[in-house]
Structures are given as C-alpha cells and as structure tokens.
Chains A and B, each alone.
Chain A
Amino acid sequence: MKIELISVIGLLICLLIIGIEYVMHYRLAELQDEHTARIEDIRRRMDVHVEGVLYAPTENSRNTEIKALANEINGDFEVYEMAIATIREHKGTAYHDDVEAQELLIRRIDDEVDPVGIYAKMLDEGDIYHKGYACRRLAELGAMEYRDKIKECVDTKSRDLAYNAAMALCCMGDVYEVSEYLLSIQDDRLYSGRIVNEFFDKFTGSRQELAESLFEKCNKYMKCTIIKTLERYRIEAFRPMYIEGASGNDIQMKIACVKALSAFGYPEDEQILQMAAKDKDWVIRSAAIRGLSRLKSPTALASVKHALSDKEWWVRQTAAQAITRMDISPRDLEEILGGYDRFAADAVKTVLYRTVDTEG
C-alpha cells in the first residue's frame, strides 16, 4: 500500500508541475504575442515619424517631427535604436548618401531624446548584461562624463561586464585603464589573445602609446600577441624591436617579429627576411616568403621560387600565392608549370586556376 500511496503523491506532484508548465508556457506565448504586436505597432508609427523627419519640407516642420519622434521613443532604448537604424537604412533621401548630414540629423534627434540618459539609467539599474551593454553604448555616444562609472565596472567579478566595460574604455581611448585590464588577463592564454586583437582594433587613442605601456609590464606571450596584432598598423617606432626579434633565437618572438616586419615591405629588411626564409621553422619561412613577395626584387623572386618546392605544404602554397603578386615573366612561369618539380607546378596551378579565367 505504501508504494501505491507514494505513486499517487508522485502523480499529483507531476500534475502540479505540468499545470505550472502550462501556465508558464501560456503566459510566455501571450507575452511573445504582445511583444510582436507592440513591435509591429511601434514600427508602423516609427516609419511615419521617420519619414516625417526625413522628408520634412522646412526646418520648422522637421523640428516638430523630431519632437514627435522623441515623444514616441519616450525613453525606451529599443525604440530609440529602431528609429536610428531605420534612419540609417532608409533609402531615397539625400540623407542616405550624405553620411555627414545623416549624422547631423541623428545628433538633432539625440538632443531631443537624450540617449545618454537612457543608457546611464540602464548602467545604474540594469543587471550585469544590461550594464555591459550600457557601457558600450555610452562609449559609442562619447559620454565621457560616465568614464568613472564605467571604470568601476572593469573591476567587477563578472568577466562579461569587465570585458564590456574595458571595451567601452577602449572606444574612449583610455590608455591606462585598457592596459591595466589587458595586463590583468595576460596569464589567461585562452582568453587574452583574442581580447588583445579586439581591443587594438577598437582602440581610438594612440595604439603606439598603448603598446608601449603594455610592453613595459607584460609577459612574453602577451608581447608576441601584441606584435602580431600590430602587424597591420605598421608602427615605425617598433621596427628596431622587430629587427632585433627577427634576428634572435626565441622562436615565438621570431615568428611575431618576422610577420610584423614583413608587413612593412621595406627593401632594407630583405636580408633579414632572406635569412628567415631559410629558417628551420616553417611558420617563420612562410611569414618571410609573404614579406619577400612585397619587395619584388630579383633576389626576393628567386627566394620565393625556391620556396615553391619547400618540403612543407603551407610554405609552398604561400609561395605560389606570393608569386602571382610578383613580376614573374611568362617564361619563368612556364618553366615552373612544365618543370620536374611537381610540388612547385601543383602549387602554382592551384593558385592560377583560381585567379585566372581558364575557361576555354
């Protein structure tokens, strides 16, 4: 009898749970319907207001329309973002082609709506995810007066919030805070690599200053990561450091420095790149070949041609791609394609067939 009683109680509990689930499901479904209807309604009205703003015949009527739009937004960030997105995407007016005029118009709307106030409220009252979002939006709006509040968020325990806040400071060009944040995560190799890349990409201040401030205190891994990231910014001041690293014995540093040096394409670096093209590490060889292809000198061409028969597939492929960017004569090309070196011929064929129309 005991087991039967337990089963009945179990069944009743299950029925209660099912009931709760049904109520939750129904409520969520209703909320979704309401949300969809609300968004559709807002969008419809928004379109009318946005068109009013964009097509207003006089400045006075435009001001009236902007006020009406601000009333419609009424402090709701979702509606504000929807309105701005609609203005940016709207085609057919002069604002679509004239970015400057578009930004001016958006600034006029911002004056009425006060988006900084909306996001500042979110920063004060929201959960960690809303706070993180608010930090980034405030930075985009250039709300420097909230810098201290954003700095406080960098020190929180939540990694998401700290990241978003630091990214906001990055957009504000804050060298000290950003470098402190990056130094705080430098030992987490699974995380710091991509963060360095993202932060240097979005940084609005002097990248050289940020890098210098990091080089003073960071570990070797972070230094290599920063050098690799800086490759595309070609900062002249760091060239001597790259030359030193490319001639050194530390493999990781050598890879980073050869890559960074290759990006410059300076003839005076050819000797270092030629040496690197003979390195026993294939990653260094591949980076050097890419750099040599930018020089286009006969000696560089000879090294790239030699790399076509490298024992490592990746180097051969890099050399084949590089050679199509260099001044190679048709005779040389024919020689490679019809030569005894199958590796070289295959590598060049693969690249050529994809870059030259071979139909017919």
Chain B
Amino acid sequence: MGFLNGVRSFIVVFNYFCMAFTLLLSVIYIIQLFVSFVRVHRDFSKSFSDDFHSYVDSDNLLPISLIIPAYNEQENIVQNIRSLMKINYPMYEIIVVNDGSTDKTGELVINAFHMHKIETSIRCQIPTQKIEAVYYSKEYPNLLYVQKANGGKSDALNAGINISRYPLFTCLDADSRVEKDALLRLSMEFIKDSRTVVAGGIVRIANGSKIVDGELKGFTMPKKLIERFQIVEYYRSFLMGRVFWSASNSLLIVSGAFGLFRKQTVIDVGGYKRNTIGEDMEIVVRIHRYMRKNHKKYRVKFNELSVCWTQGPMSVNDIRSQRRRWQIGLMDTLITHRGMTLNPRYGFVGLLSVPYNWIFELFGALIEAIGYILIPFTLIMGELNLFFFVIYFLLSVALGVILSQGSLVLEQYTHRAAMTAKQSIAISVYAILENFGYRQLITLFRVEGILKYRKLHKTWGKIKRKEFEQ
C-alpha cells in the first residue's frame, strides 16, 4: 500500500513538474518572440537605407565558393546548378562534390555542362576520402565537378572546402533553391562586421510556392495537411528562435541547407565532423567552442532577409525520418560538446544556449511525451481536478498559438510571403490546428530519435522530395 501511495505521489509531483516545465518553456518562447519582434523591426527598417545592391562592384565584397554535396541527386542536380548560375553575385564558383553516387548524378552534370577531366593540385587542409577526378568546363568557368569516394555529407563538404578558392563558402543542399539576392544579403554580414565567421539565412518551405530562377512567383496552398503545418513551423523556428539566439551571439545552428562560412575558421576547427548526421549544428558549436577557448572575437549571425527554399517532407514517414535525424544530430552534438554545458568559459553559449538545448530542445520532447501519458492517467485516478486540467490544456494550446501566430505576423510584416490576405489568414488556422495532433506526433518522432540514438546516429536518411515547379 505504501509503495502504491509512493507511486501515486510521484505521478502527481511529476505532473506538476510537466506543467511547470511547459509553462516555463512557453515563457522563454514568448521572450524570444518579443526580442525577435524588436530585431526584425529594426533590421527591416534598416534595410530601407541599406543599399546592398551598390556592393555588387565593391572591392569589399568577398568571393564565395558554393559547395553542393551530392549523393544520388539525379532528379534535381542539373536544375539546381542552372538556378545557381543566375544568382546575383559578382564573383563565385560552384563546386559540385559527387560523394560516390550510384545513380547518374555525375554523368548528368558532366554532359549538361560539357565538362572534361583536368589535373589539379589540391591543398589538402582537411583529410577526406580519395578524390578520384576533377572536371572543369571552359563554357562554365565558375563550375567545378569533383568525383570522390563515398564518405558521407561531411566528407564531401570537406573535400569541397579543400578544393575551393575563395575565402567564404556556403554549403547548399542539392534540392534547395537560393533566392537571387540571398548571397549578396548574407555576405553583407561579413562586410558590415569583420568579426563574422558564420552567417545563416532563413530556410522556407517551398511546397506550394512557385520559384522561378530563384524568385518567388506565387503561392498556392499545398494539398497535404502535413505540408501546411510545416510552413507555420518553419516560420516559428526561423523568425523566432534563430533571430533571438543570433541577437545574443549564441546561435548554435545554421541550417545545413543555407549558411555562409569563413573558410579559414572552418579549417582552423578541423572542418566538418565525419560520422555524424548533425554536421550543420556540430560545426557551429565547434566554432563557438574554438573561438571562445582561444579568446577570439567572432560573431555568428542570422539574416532573416536572405532566403533559401527547400521542399519539406510530404509524407508522415519522411517527416518522421527527418525529425528523428534532427533529434539525433542535436543529441550527438550536445554529447560531443558536453564540456561546454554551464561552463562560464564559454560565456552566454555555455551558460544559456547549450543548457537550453539540453533541457528544452532535447529532453523537452521526452518530458512532453511522458506528460501526454501521465496527465490523463492522473485524471482517471482522480488526482487531478478536471476543471484545472481543461484550463491548463487550453492555456498550453493558447501559448502555442501565440507563438505561431506571432511568427506569422512577423512574416507578414517583412512582406516576404507571396500569399494573398486570404491565404495568410488560412495559413494562420493551422497555427491553431497544429496543436491537436501534429505537435504530439512530432514530439513522438523526437522521442524516437532519442531512444534510437545509439542505433541510428551514424546513418543518413534520405527523404523523398518533389521537384521544384518551373
């Protein structure tokens, strides 16, 4: 009897803990939203007098190497390279690194751009798998195609860094599209503040949007519910979270789909870590660690006006695989850099950003999932007042809606969406609906990621994506 009472008391206490945890998280998110509002408003106003187009012929503008790691990307690769050739940037090179694809990726690139094999010396500053061949085309002098043995995405990126010529590089997913002015806007972060070592742009869900040559031409509501929820989710994640963390120079993640890096800094930290699926987060955390440890002045920036479009997963299975991978990547990075947690040597990053990621981003999913099981159970046991339960549930939903709706207001404020007023309002309905089913489903996938960490942390999932509308 005593044991049962103990279990009962534990469950009740845990319930209150879950509730307090959710409320605390919501309060943190609301602070983030408020800070983001201030920052986005300031940046947007500032952009009026920022004549970034005048930098096109400026000596201050640093040339960029665009590295595209490709593994079995035959559907999108040629189309993506062609779209990259139209971006508005005066000096850049495109390096396609074929990481031992088993499909026709290489053949398609070589034929489409009339490339031929060249002999070249490569400055091997980061060790990689063997580079088998380098192809070049006189017709497209800023395009280079590298054929290498399979070693994973990080290895392909490191090979791209070794062969690149320019001081800045960006890694782009083969299935993403960069807006015409995105690189120019992003490189302004390096011009305006020479301490900048990494700058990330905003990644938007392209499902439903018509993107032609890197320009948004229109929007139709995607057919699947899962795609509509992701639109809201991405706005929230980028416009709220990243703007806030960047304001305090403690942004831990720059999207793998679109980030601009100072090459020398990445080389100094040893390049991308191999055998991890969260290489985009890991490299940024390592840069923070290295710079703070060596007392170097640096900045990790986020620019909400530089846009990259990506196709979001369209099936539950794909989104499951994606979220599981993200959670494993987060866990892997936090474990690798656990020494930074609450370590004053790493400043705001060690004292706030890393612990926040441990508590709310990693274990938050676990606590939320246990709460979903225990709270109804406690209700059945009669330990929880039904009225209180209903109020609490509505409160947590309302807090979630405030955050999502706030991000949509931010999005509308920056006038970036090509949506009509009707579509905007329609999308905001999903800010409410996502709290009934979608959010819980995502939490379960995240928990699955944590539970399967040991088994899956070295595997790279592949998501089936739709081709971009032309």
Give the interface of A toward B (CB within 8 A). Answer: 3-4, 7-8, 10-11, 14-15, 17-18, 21-22, 24-26, 28-30, 32-33, 35, 127, 129-130, 132-133, 136, 160, 164, 190, 193-194, 197-198, 201, 229, 232, 313, 346-347, 349-350, 353-354, 357-359
Cross-chain contact A197 with B59 (CB below 8 angstroms):
yes
- Taking CB atoms, residues of chain B closer than 8 Å to A28 are 409, 412-413
Chain A residue with the shortest CB-CB distance to B60: A194
Cross-chain contact B118 with A313 (CB below 8 angstroms):
no
9-residue interface stretch from B267-275, B371-379, B395-403:
B395-403
* From A3, A17, A129, contact of B388 by CB (8 A): A3
Cross-chain contact B141 with A21 (CB below 8 angstroms):
no
- Which B376-428 residues sit within 8 Å CB-CB of chain A? 385, 387-388, 391-392, 394-395, 398-399, 401-402, 405-406, 408-409, 412-413, 415, 417, 419-421, 424-425, 428
Q: How many residue pairs at the A-B interface have CB separations less than 8 Å?
A: 115
**Chain B proximity of A47: nearest CB distance (Å):** 19
* From B118, B195, B387, B399, contact of A14 by CB (8 A): B399
- Taking CB atoms, residues of chain B closer than 8 Å to A15 are 398
**Chain A proximity of B86: nearest CB distance (Å):** 18
Cross-chain contact A353 with B136 (CB below 8 angstroms):
yes
Instruction: Give the docked Cα–Cα distance between A244 and B263 (Å).
Output: 35
Given contacts A26-B421, A194-B60, A350-B121, 20 further A-B contacts (CB under 8 A): A4-B391, A8-B391, A11-B395, A18-B401, A21-B409, A25-B408, A25-B409, A26-B425, A28-B413, A29-B421, A32-B417, A32-B424, A127-B45, A130-B48, A194-B191, A194-B194, A197-B58, A197-B60, A201-B59, A358-B118
**Chain A proximity of B425: nearest CB distance (Å):** 6
Is B295 an interface residue, CB under 8 A from the partner?
no
CB-CB under 8 A for A21 and B402, given A11-B394, A198-B60, A358-B118: yes
Cross-chain contact A190 with B195 (CB below 8 angstroms):
yes
Query: Which one of A4, A32, A132, A347 has the highest number of Cβ atoms from chain B below 10 Å of its Cβ?
Result: A32
Instruction: Give the docked Cα–Cα distance between A347 and B123 (Å).
Output: 10
Instruction: Give the docked Cα–Cα distance between A357 and B413 (Å).
Output: 51
Cross-chain contact A21 with B405 (CB below 8 angstroms):
yes
Cross-chain contact B194 with A7 (CB below 8 angstroms):
no
CB-CB under 8 A for A29 and B425, given A10-B395, A15-B398, A197-B58: yes
Is B119 an interface residue, CB under 8 A from the partner?
yes
Is B120 an interface residue, CB under 8 A from the partner?
yes
Cross-chain contact B193 with A190 (CB below 8 angstroms):
yes
Chain B residue with the shortest CB-CB distance to A202: B54
Cross-chain contact B409 with A201 (CB below 8 angstroms):
no
Chain A residue with the shortest CB-CB distance to B420: A33
- Majority DSSP secondary structure for residues of B touching A: helix
Cross-chain contact B121 with A346 (CB below 8 angstroms):
yes
Count residues of B near A (Cβ-Cβ below 8 Å).
47
Cross-chain contact B46 with A129 (CB below 8 angstroms):
yes
* From B385, B388, B399, B424, contact of A29 by CB (8 A): B424
Is B51 an interface residue, CB under 8 A from the partner?
yes
Cross-chain contact A7 with B392 (CB below 8 angstroms):
yes
CB-CB under 8 A for A353 and B425, given A11-B391, A17-B402, A201-B58: no
* From A4, A8, A11, A190, contact of B194 by CB (8 A): A190
8 A-B residue contacts at CB 8 Å? A14-B395, A18-B398, A26-B421, A29-B421, A32-B412, A129-B46, A358-B118, A359-B138
Cross-chain contact A164 with B425 (CB below 8 angstroms):
no
**Chain B proximity of A30: nearest CB distance (Å):** 5
Chain B residue with the shortest CB-CB distance to A11: B395
Cross-chain contact A18 with B121 (CB below 8 angstroms):
no
Query: Contact flags (1/0) for B193-235 with A, using CB distance below 8 Å?
Result: 1110000000000000000000000000000000000000000
Instruction: Give the docked Cα–Cα distance between A8 and B393 (Å).
Output: 11
Is B111 an interface residue, CB under 8 A from the partner?
no
CB-CB under 8 A for A7 and B118, given A18-B402, A32-B421, A129-B45: no
Cross-chain contact B391 with A7 (CB below 8 angstroms):
yes
Cross-chain contact B194 with A193 (CB below 8 angstroms):
yes
3 closest A-B pairs by CB: A346-B121, A14-B398, A29-B421
Give the interface of B toward A (CB within 8 A). Answer: 45-46, 48-49, 51, 58-60, 116, 118-121, 123, 136, 138, 141, 191-195, 385, 387-388, 391-392, 394-395, 398-399, 401-402, 405-406, 408-409, 412-413, 415, 417, 419-421, 424-425, 428
- Majority DSSP secondary structure for residues of A touching B: helix
* From A10, A26, A32, A193, contact of B415 by CB (8 A): A32
Cross-chain contact A353 with B119 (CB below 8 angstroms):
yes
CB-CB under 8 A for A353 and B118, given A4-B391, A133-B49, A190-B194: yes
Cross-chain contact B425 with A349 (CB below 8 angstroms):
no
Instruction: Give the docked Cα–Cα distance between A232 and B59 (Å).
Output: 11
Cross-chain contact A22 with B391 (CB below 8 angstroms):
no
Instruction: Give the docked Cα–Cα distance between A22 and B192 (Å).
Output: 36
Instruction: Give the docked Cα–Cα distance between A11 and B400 (Å).
Output: 12
- Taking CB atoms, residues of chain B closer than 8 Å to A164 are 49
- Taking CB atoms, residues of chain B closer than 8 Å to A198 are 58, 60
Instruction: Give the docked Cα–Cα distance between A229 and B58 (Å).
Output: 12
**Chain A proximity of B382: nearest CB distance (Å):** 17
Instruction: Give the docked Cα–Cα distance between A133 and B413 (Å).
Output: 21
Chain A residue with the shortest CB-CB distance to B23: A10
Instruction: Give the docked Cα–Cα distance between A8 and B420 (Å).
Output: 35
- Taking CB atoms, residues of chain B closer than 8 Å to A358 are 116, 118
CB-CB under 8 A for A11 and B420, given A25-B425, A194-B191, A349-B119: no
- Taking CB atoms, residues of chain A closer than 8 Å to B402 are 14, 17-18, 21
Instruction: Give the docked Cα–Cα distance between A197 and B48 (Å).
Output: 22
* From B191, B193, B388, B420, contact of A7 by CB (8 A): B388
Instruction: Give the docked Cα–Cα distance between A357 and B118 (Å).
Output: 10
Instruction: Give the docked Cα–Cα distance between A160 and B48 (Å).
Output: 11
Instruction: Give the docked Cα–Cα distance between A75 and B457 (Å).
Output: 62
Chain A residue with the shortest CB-CB distance to B412: A28
**Chain A proximity of B405: nearest CB distance (Å):** 4
Instruction: Give the docked Cα–Cα distance between A354 and B59 (Å).
Output: 24
Chain B residue with the shortest CB-CB distance to A196: B60
- Taking CB atoms, residues of chain B closer than 8 Å to A229 are 59
Chain B residue with the shortest CB-CB distance to A347: B121
- Taking CB atoms, residues of chain A closer than 8 Å to B406 are 21
Chain A residue with the shortest CB-CB distance to B392: A7
Instruction: Give the docked Cα–Cα distance between A160 and B192 (Å).
Output: 11
- Taking CB atoms, residues of chain B closer than 8 Å to A346 are 121
Chain A residue with the shortest CB-CB distance to B119: A349
- Taking CB atoms, residues of chain A closer than 8 Å to B46 are 129, 160
- Taking CB atoms, residues of chain B closer than 8 Å to A349 are 119-121
Query: Which one of A18, A129, A193, A201 has the highest number of Cβ atoms from chain B below 10 Å of its Cβ?
Result: A18
